[in-house]
Amino acid sequence: MCKKIINGINARIGLDDLIENRLRGYRIPRETNIFYTLGIVALFAYMLQAVSGYFLVMYYVPHTEHAFSSTQVIMNTVPFGWLVRMVHIVASNLMLIVLFMHLVSIFIMGSYKKPREITWIAGGLLILVTLAFCLSGYLLPWSQRSYWATTIATNIPTAFPVVGDFIANILRGGENVTAITLNRFFALHVAFLPPLFLFIVGLHIFMVWRIGLSTTPFGEHAEEEAWTEYKRADYKSSYPFFPNFVLKEAFMISVFLAITFFIISFFPTIFLPEAANTPADPLKTPAHIKPEWYFLAPYQMLKLIPNKFFGISIQIILVGIFLFWPFIDVNKERNILKRPFLLGFIILLLAAWAILTVWGRYS
């Protein structure tokens, strides 16, 4: 019976051809390492967020009088609700770490260069959308910590003359963070950002599939130096995507899940501190309120620059440089070891980010 079903499907969609030509026929450069799997690990983390978020929405109430209490119901009453929410919280933070690792590895290997500029821009936009997911989802529990952190975040646009107050009011739905803000952030988190993400990730995956994976610059890569127009990468030494590379990806996904459940089991408060378990009180401003770790570097940078407009403008310019870096760095050399100035710049940039993050955490 099963064989008849499989044969019927094969006759209609060419399943054997799909496996043989599209999966086994998709070749992977032999010198690939675990860093090449970070993209699929991040995609799996996104899927985990979508599934866990779907179950959370079943019980969550996006109203200022019920948001915090519904979150507590999920944690304390709903069967395995605590586990679903903890997976959602921990996996989202680990997902950002994976994305940053993926970004750094792509940069070091020069995989953003021609013909992969669109792939880089799509990946950069995915990081920005992910941060928007984090910012919009942060307010939803309506805790004291999330309320005041969102208040600070939505005040940032007011540094811009003329349009600053207008942008802040659009985000908040008024002059303060209220029930309207909660509804807008909820709609942004579950209705607007997901389809936007799917479109961009679809473009990113299509570009990777269409052009092929970039080889490491520390091995054979002559085929890319002579690139003039579209041609699917043809590797001198390669192996099939399925099952060889799929098994490598499955292993890294298992590592991601193992780390997620390890943190949930032994360090449950690392991403969910005590302040996150206190309901929001708009009349009581906390003594020390700070953003999540992934926003600490830009937060500390704004604190160090007296002129907020100047500080925000610098960060916007840096984001623009980041997105369009493939068109700025026109040097054909991909081996960063042969470009000591760029290598030093990357080390300096990563060190500055780490210092600002730690400084922002303990200042």
pLDDT class of 236 with cuts at 50, 70, 90: low
Kindly report which listed range (18-22, 74-78, 128-132, 193-197) carries the lowest average pLDDT score: 18-22
- pLDDT for 177 beyond 80: yes
Give tens-digit pLDDT for 7-57.
Answer: 777 777 777 776 666 666 677 887 788 899 999 999 999 999 999 999 999
pLDDT given at position 79? 96
Residue 310 or 28, more confident = 310
- Exposed, middle or buried, 31 (CB in 10 Å: 0-12/13-18/19+)? middle
Give tens-digit pLDDT for 137-167.
Answer: 999 999 999 999 999 899 989 888 888 899 9
pLDDT class of 226 with cuts at 50, 70, 90: very low
Cα separation values, 208 from 36, 169, 300, 329, Å: 12, 39, 36, 20
Closest Cα to residue 117, out of 27, 246, 204? 204
Q: How many whole angstroms separate alpha carbon 56 and alpha carbon 50?
A: 10
What are the structural domain ranges in the chain? 31-221+236-295
3-state secondary structure the chain: CHHHHHHHHHHHHCHHHHHHHHHCCCEEECCCCHHHHHHHHHHHHHHHHHHHHHHHHCCCCCCCCCHHHHHHHHHHCCCCHHHHHHHHHHHHHHHHHHHHHHHHHHHHCCCCCCCCHHHHHHHHHHHHHHHHHHHHHHHCCCEHHHHHHHHHHHHHHHHCCCCHHHHHHHHHCCCCCCHHHHHHHHHHHHHHHHHHHHHHHHHHHHHHHHHCCCCCCCCCCHHHHCCCCCCCCCCCCEEEHHHHHHHHHHHHHHHHHHHHHHHHHHCCCCCCCHHHHCECCCCCCCCCCCCCHHHHHHHHHHHHCCCHHHHHHHHHHHHHHHHCHHHHCCCCCCCHHHCHHHHHHHHHHHHHHHHHHHHHHHC
pLDDT given at position 8? 77
pLDDT given at position 287? 77
Residue 289 φ then ψ, to 5°: -120, 130
Give tens-digit pLDDT for 103-150.
Answer: 999 999 999 998 899 999 999 999 999 999 999 999 999 999 999 999
Strand partners of residue 279: 143
pLDDT given at position 290? 85
Closest Cα to residue 198, out of 125, 139, 94? 125
Q: CA 254: distance to chain centroid?
A: 19
The mean per-residue pLDDT over the stretch 1-7 comes to 77
**Structural contact between residues 239 and 28, judged by C-beta atoms closer than 8 angstroms:** yes
Tokens linked to 19: 């496996």
**Structural contact between residues 98 and 38, judged by C-beta atoms closer than 8 angstroms:** yes
pLDDT class of 354 with cuts at 50, 70, 90: very high
The mean per-residue pLDDT over the stretch 68-85 comes to 96
pLDDT given at position 18? 67
Strand partners of residue 143: 279
- pLDDT for 230 beyond 90: no
Cβ contacts of 131 within 8 Å, gap of 6 or more? 294, 295
**Structural contact between residues 323 and 125, judged by C-beta atoms closer than 8 angstroms:** yes
- pLDDT for 224 beyond 60: no
Closest Cα to residue 328, out of 171, 107, 35? 107
The mean per-residue pLDDT over the stretch 320-347 comes to 93
Q: CA 289: distance to chain centroid?
A: 24
Q: How many whole angstroms separate alpha carbon 147 and alpha carbon 280?
A: 6
- pLDDT for 229 beyond 80: no
Residue 77 φ then ψ, to 5°: -115, -45
- Exposed, middle or buried, 269 (CB in 10 Å: 0-12/13-18/19+)? exposed
pLDDT given at position 54? 97
Taking domain 31-221+236-295, whether its CATH number is 3.90.1150.10 is answered by: no
Tokens linked to 166: 């207008």
- pLDDT for 88 beyond 80: yes
pLDDT given at position 225? 46
